[in-house]
Structure 1
């Protein structure tokens, strides 16, 4: 599982991407960090291949980080999506070894250095009970119950597995040139299950995972630091959360699409947890 996970550790003013099977070494979460794996294809890296998010473009996009000193930019290590006024959906691998008090959520601005960023404590968390089954990284989802509601428009959850032409993903992860304080977004081609499984033989659980990226050319993808963030239907009347940034080999490499937790597969399980929190 070397190079798989797309979460990040920020140590002071320096950066290190978590690129192995271990979780992040921050706020009491044990792990190993190493430099981000740069894309091997010859393309202009800018998420990868994207552009800055505008304020209000994805109001549900939030950063997940650790409490303490320093800016939100210094402390953010994963992304998330607000799915109810006091609930954030993220990746299980971002929080599997955490307690609620180890975590905070940053909302209110897509610029993690902005004075408009609101920091909210996490009161409870739920990691998918079947995470890592039937294969590693399957069912990679977790829910965070916030200590108080955030003034953020939630995103609707996908409820039916669907094939798309393109999707959009966003986050504060590596662009190939560093980690930007302003979230980036990129449009990525949808990859069907057969091609996804062919790209990663014996590693894909088609029920709980989906793939997106340009298999032939590379160049567009989520990357280290984007884990837990959203992959969505294209902008329109109402965007729907289709998946959660999860894993992949390298970033934006030809032949290695990004892999995402498929929300439609565990939508019912999410609703059960939410009902228990009411």
Structure 2
């Protein structure tokens, strides 16, 4: 149980924004403030109806654990990361127990401020069968889907998933990502005992896409590399943002999303195992690479109602022979 609880705190995700962590020799602590990135405004949150909270209840205290983000991809399906439902170290299952729609502040009670909660049943969530992070640290298929027992509430519009493997096209394409993850993670390595800094409201930042050739860390074909924009202070996704959508961004000083909104990635993990903030960048899962699995899983688990691949048109019926041709055939036989 201790390992389970420890992993829960690890999977609480966040956005760590700041410069390279530098030790303060007098206080032995890292910087207290988080730079780069900003609090997601209430108005901008309303423009992201597909962004959801994913969580469960602490088995000992019953307290809510806001573990991951996710995106609504159909009336009955939520897309998230596989490591949000299965321990990436020893294979322990901890499936989400609820999905929150329209949430802004984690302190607000369900039923207030427009928050709608849908409870999940055991078996409603499934991850890609190729996810092997607990075997060989392989996050290359870090994708999962949760099927809602009832359709998403009115006003929730599914996000569009990118199907084009050539999008993003080149290094430097801006990406937008928002989540409720940590603003700073704790440092597991002494002698720097800086503490985690959670956030109750979502934060948003702009990252740059790096092609596999330019990515400082190795990536698989199903993965994509996200880094701090050139010339900017370090910014990154962190513990608690996992599973959330990465969409094409506008870039520039104001950031924001391109319209129409297109999800190109799923927040997965960071390249530096001990620090979310790193010039090495973070790793996301490409939606285009996993789209066949996603659509097939949703289609089958919703009873062939949603996201089913288009079936080929039926073959044309055989031509009907005319009476004259039938008579000619009879004459030939005679």
Query: Fold conserved (TM > 0.5)?
Result: yes
1:129-173 deviations in Å (ceiling 9; x for gaps): 111389711111000011212221110111012125101011001
More deviation, 61-70/84-93: 61-70
Greater Rg by CA = 2
SS in 2 for 1:66: strand
SS in 2 for 1:273: helix
The residue that corresponds to 2:99 in the other structure is 105
- Report the CA distance between 1:215 and its aligned residue: 6.8
The residue that corresponds to 1:7 in the other structure is none
Please report the RMSD computed on the Cα atoms of aligned residues, expressed in angstroms.
Answer: 3.0
Q: Which runs of 5+ in 2 are unaligned?
A: 22-30, 87-91, 185-195, 250-256, 304-334
SS in 2 for 1:79: strand
Relative to 1, partners in 2 of residues 1:269 and 1:154: Cα closer, same or farther, differing over 3 Å?
Answer: same
Hey, what's the Cα distance between the residues in 1 that align with 2:164 and 2:205?
Answer: 23
Tell whether the 8 Å contact from 1:215 to 1:257 is kept in structure 2 after alignment: no
Q: 1:68-83, aligned counterparts within 5 Å?
A: 74-83=64-73
Tell whether the 8 Å contact from 2:13 to 2:241 is kept in structure 1 after alignment: no
The residue that corresponds to 2:206 in the other structure is 187
TM-score scaled by structure 2?
A: 0.65
TM-score scaled by structure 1?
A: 0.77
The one of 118, 121, 136 aligned to 1:120: 118
Q: 1:151-166, aligned counterparts within 5 Å?
A: 151=153, 152-161=156-165, 162=167, 163=169, 165-166=173-174
The residue that corresponds to 2:293 in the other structure is 269
The residue that corresponds to 2:310 in the other structure is none
The residue that corresponds to 2:261 in the other structure is 239
SS in 2 for 1:144: strand
The residue that corresponds to 1:257 in the other structure is 281
Hey, what's the Cα distance between the residues in 1 that align with 2:242 and 2:106?
Answer: 16
Tell whether the 8 Å contact from 1:213 to 1:252 is kept in structure 2 after alignment: no
Establish whether residue 175 from structure 1 lines up as the match of residue 194 from structure 2: no
Tell whether the 8 Å contact from 2:174 to 2:208 is kept in structure 1 after alignment: yes
Hey, what's the Cα distance between the residues in 2 that align with 1:252 and 1:215?
Answer: 13
Establish whether residue 25 from structure 1 lines up as the match of residue 40 from structure 2: no
Tell whether the 8 Å contact from 2:19 to 2:234 is kept in structure 1 after alignment: no
Hey, what's the Cα distance between the residues in 2 that align with 1:194 and 1:253?
Answer: 18
Tell whether the 8 Å contact from 2:39 to 2:201 is kept in structure 1 after alignment: no
Q: 1:40-59, aligned counterparts within 5 Å?
A: 41=20, 45-46=34-35, 49-54=37-42, 55-59=45-49
More deviation, 217-226/81-90: 217-226
1:46-81 deviations in Å (ceiling 9; x for gaps): 4x633324331211111110047777xx42011111
Q: Which runs of 5+ in 1 are unaligned?
A: 1-10, 12-23
The residue that corresponds to 2:130 in the other structure is 130
Establish whether residue 95 from structure 1 lines up as the match of residue 85 from structure 2: yes
